[in-house]
Amino acid sequence: MASLQSIKTWDLELDVAVVGFGVAGCVAAVEAVETRTDAKVAIFEKATEARCGGNSRVSGQALWIARPDQLEAVIAYQRKLNQPNPISEELLRTWAQALVELEPWIQAKAAEVGGDYSEGMGWTDLKTIVEFPELGAEEAIAYNSTIKPNPSGVWRTFRDHVLRRPEIALHYESPVVDLIQDPDSGEIFGVIVEQNGRRLAVRARGGVILACGGYEANAEMQRNYWGADRILPLGSPANTGDGVRMLQKAGAKLWHMRNFTQSSGNWPAIKVDGYDAAFLRAVVMPDGGWMEIGADHKRFYDEGYHHRLRHYHQDENGRWQDAPHWRTLPVHMIFDETTRTAGPIITSLMTWNTVVEGYEWSADNSAEVEKGWIVKADTIQDLARLIGRPEAALAEALAAYNAAAQGELPCPFGRDTASMRPLQGPFYAAELVPGVICSTGGGERNGKAQVIGQDGLPITGLYEAGELGSIFSNLYQNGAFLTEAMIFGRIAGREAALR
C-alpha cells in the first residue's frame, strides 16, 4: 500500500481508474462514461498493445443467456454450483437478476460496433453446453451465444467500444503496482502506475476498479493457494496475481482462492520451450487412438469421455472433483501414426499461443515432431526410453489398452470401446500438463462490486470485476465468466462514476 500521506503531488487526476483491458475492464470504462458523460476515465493495461486483452481475448467467447422467467432457476442452479462454499443470497440474486436482463444490452453493444451476435458458440455445432443437468442447468439456461467473428469476438466488441470513445484514455505497458490508501480510514484514493520507467501517482476521485485478472500464471501462488506442483496458464501470461497482492495490502477479505481448479477446470495441455503459456490439447481428439499414462506408468481415467462439457470436472464417489491430471504428474499422451496424421492434437481457436502469439500448429503434427515437442519411436520400448519410462511398464500399459480397445477385456475406467482404437507403431508421445483457463480468487465483493475489508465493510473507493474475486466459488457453467465480467463491470463503472 502507498500511503496517502506519501503523495505530494498527483501526476494525473481522474474520476475512475480501471486496471485491466479485458472484457470486465472495457465494460467498466464504457459504463462509467455512459453513466456520467463528463467523467474522466482511464484504463491502465499491463501488457503491450499486441498482447493485451487478458484471458477474455482467448476464451471460447461463449455467453450464458437466460430469460427473465428463468430467474429463480438461475438462482437455484448457481446456488448448487457454488456448494459447499456459498455466497450471500443478496449477491447471488443481484447477479442473477442482471444475467436474465443482459441479452438485449449485449445485442445492442454488438450492433453498435458491427459485431455479429448469434446463438451458439461459433466453434461447435452445439447450441448450448449444459454442464450439470443434474443440478438444474436445463431449467437455468436458454442457450449459449457469442459475438462473431471469432476468435476474440466478444472481447473485440468491447475493445472497439473503448477505442471509439476519446474520453477514455488507454495506457498500454502501464502496470498498476500499488493502491494509494489512507492508512487511517482505509479509503482508496488512487493508484501507483509504472510507465516509461517512472512511477506515477494517479488520483481516482470516484474509485479504482480492479479488473486485472487472477494468478494462474504465478507458479508460487498456484502452489501456495491451490496446491498444484505444476499447472500452466492457457490464457494471458500477464495474469500473475497483481490484483491479489494489492488487495492483500489494502486489507481486503479474500475468497475463492482454492476452488476446484479455480472453477474453470484443469485441462490437458502441452507446454513447450519458448512459450509462457501452454497449448490446449484438442478438446475433441481427431482420432480415438490414444491413451494417457500417469506417474505410475498406467492409465488413470476415461480419456474418451466428453470432459470438455463439464470443464474437466468428474463425479467421484458422489462428489464433483477435478480431473486427476494434476495429481498424477508426469502424464504422457501416447498415440500412433493414424492419430498423428488425423489432425492437430491441439485446439487453435482458443488459448494464448494460437490466438495472440499466432502460432500455427501443423495439420498433421509433423512440424511439432520435427521440433521435438512430440517424441517419435518405432517401438513402444524405444518410446519408453525417450520419455523416461520403464520399457516393461509402458509395454504392459499398451497391451492392456489394446486389449480393451479390441473388446478382449473391459476398460477399467469405463471408456467406451467405440472411442478407442488399438495402437500400433510407430508411436508418438507428448507430455501433458494441467492447463488452467483462469482463477477466481480475489477480494470478496458485494452487489455494488465493492471490495469487502477484513472488518466486513466495503473498502471505500475500491471496486472489482471479472475473474479477480469472481462470485463463482466451486463448479462452473459454460459462458458464465464473460457474462459475469459484463455484469460487475457495468455495476463497478456505474458506482464509481456516481460516487
Binned at pLDDT 50, 70 and 90, residue 207 comes out as: very high
- The pLDDT-based confidence of 228 (bands split at 50, 70, 90) is confident
Tell me which of 436, 451, 486 is where a domain ends. Answer: 436
- Mean pLDDT within 14-30: 98
Could you report the per-residue pLDDT of 92-107, keeping only the tens digit for each?
999 999 999 999 999 9
Taking residues 250-266, report their average pLDDT. Answer: 89
Quote the number of domains for the chain.
2
Q: How far is CA 29 from CA 160, 252, 372, 465, in A?
A: 12, 23, 45, 11
Distances (CA, A) of 120 to 61, 123, 208, 389, 490: 10, 8, 35, 43, 24
**Residues 270 and 251 placed together within one structural domain of the fold:** no
Tell which of 436, 464, 480 closes a domain.
436
Residues 385 and 456 in one domain: no
Residues 253 and 270 in one domain: no
Q: What is the tens place of the pLDDT at every residue in 381-403?
A: 999 999 999 999 999 999 999 99
Q: Do 353 and 274 fall into the same domain? A: yes
- Share above pLDDT 90 across residues of the chain, in percent, rounded to a whole number: 91
Task: Write down the mean pLDDT value for the chain.
Answer: 96
Distances from the Cα of 5 to the Cα of 9, 13, 181, angstroms: 10, 17, 9
Task: Using pLDDT thresholds of 50, 70 and 90, give the confidence band for residue 430.
Answer: very high
- The phi-psi region of residue 32 (left if phi > 0; otherwise alpha if psi is between -120 and 50; otherwise beta) is alpha
What's the whole-number mean pLDDT along residues 243-263?
92
Q: In this structure, are 133 and 147 located in the same domain?
A: yes
Residues 375, 468, single domain; the answer is no
Output the pLDDT for position 229: 83
Domain match, 229 and 251 both: yes
**What residue numbers bound the domain in which 375 lies?**
265-436
Q: Which of the pair, 306 or 443, is modelled with greater confidence?
A: 443
Q: Are residues 145 and 200 in the same domain?
A: yes
Nearest to 476 by CA among 447, 434, 437, 443: 437
Residues 205 and 106 in one domain: yes
CB half-sphere exposure, 364, CA atoms < 13 A:
6
Residue 243 has pLDDT above 70, yes or no: yes
CATH assignment of the domain containing 371: 3.90.700.10
Give the contacts of 358 (CB within 8 A, at least 6 positions apart): none
Single residue among 410, 436, 462 that ends a domain in this structure: 436
| Alpha carbons 451 and 468: distance in angstroms, whole number | 11
Three cell numbers at 204? 481516482
Residue 199 sits in the same domain as residue 314: no
Tell how strand 12-19 and strand 41-44 pair up: parallel
CATH classification at residue 114: 3.50.50.60
pLDDT at 1: 61
Number of residues that make up the chain: 499
Shared domain check, 432 and 364: yes
Residues 250 and 334 placed together within one structural domain of the fold? no
